[in-house]
Amino acid sequence: MEKNYPAPPEYERFKAAIQGLTGIDLNAYKYQIHRRVHMLMQRWGLTSYEEYFRTIRDNETKQRDFLDYITINVSEFFRNPQRWWELRDNVIPHLINMRKNKRLKLWSAGSATGEEPYSLAILAMDLNLDSKVLATDIDQGAIAKAREGIYNVRQIENIPQEWRQRYFQAINTEKVQISPEVRQKVDFQRGNLIEDHFDHQSFDIILCRNVVIYFSPQTKSTLYKKFFNALKPGGYLMVGATEQIFEYRSLGFKSTGPFLYAKPE
């Protein structure tokens, strides 16, 4: 946790109370979450964690706002690692073979603070792809942070050491920055997945993970249909590790693995 937040025990008691109330263990989250928790308290004009907790407990709307606020931009490098190794070992080699070239078009839809598109760019570089990654998000602040590419050292702990050394540069003992060669592989743009029209048959892989949690079933279906149209034949959509698409068949997809859907060739 960063230095200028109220020290335990008030915050420790608050975290325990929030876990009892919502089941969310704030200790399991990275430091940005603590910053957000604190920022929201300030935004609501509250000065004590006791009062903050009572507000969340007693006001349903405030409780929802709190949950939305703390989960919205959370991301990780190589989140759910097995899915990434599936991309590296099976999906991308299959696409290269099918397309007969290494020029794949990749999209991280809901790219938050950049961990996902940069993970994709690192994978692409490791496999010598001649690819750029499109990264879009509705949140301008998240995009600005993503473009900067500065992370806490703890956020890259799970990245294989070889990649950490090759693709990150130390700023000081606490911060690292993603290297310029990875940064220039990613094109960050603001976009609203619900409202925007997507390019037709344009992408080889779309990642849309942990974005649709608050979307209604109808909105999700419409979005998945738009993704289907935006994929080239043979392209893949990967969703988050809790986000199965139950109606994938009626949308036209084949299921080719956990949380992975393919558009028939």
CB of 145 to ligand SAM, least distance (A): 10
Helix axes 49-58, 60-71, angle to 10 degrees: 110
CB of 226 to ligand SAM, least distance (A): 12
DSSP-derived secondary structure letter, 107: E
CB of 222 to ligand SAM, least distance (A): 12
- Nearer Cβ to ligand SAM (52/77): 77
Both structure tokens of 172:
């000081």
- Nearer Cβ to ligand SAM (92/112): 112
Both structure tokens of 56:
């969340």
- DSSP string for residues in 122-139: HHHHHTT----EEEEES-
- Nearer Cβ to ligand SAM (11/215): 215
CB of 215 to ligand SAM, least distance (A): 8
First to last CA, the chain: 48
- Nearer Cβ to ligand SAM (76/204): 76
CB of 172 to ligand SAM, least distance (A): 25
Both structure tokens of 58:
């007693």
- Nearer Cβ to ligand SAM (41/146): 146
Binding site for ligand SAM (CB under 6 A): 72-76, 79, 110, 112, 115-116, 137-139, 142, 191-194, 209-211, 240
* CB burial readout 188-218, b (16+ within 10 A) else e: beebebeeeebeeeebbbbbbbbbbeeeeee
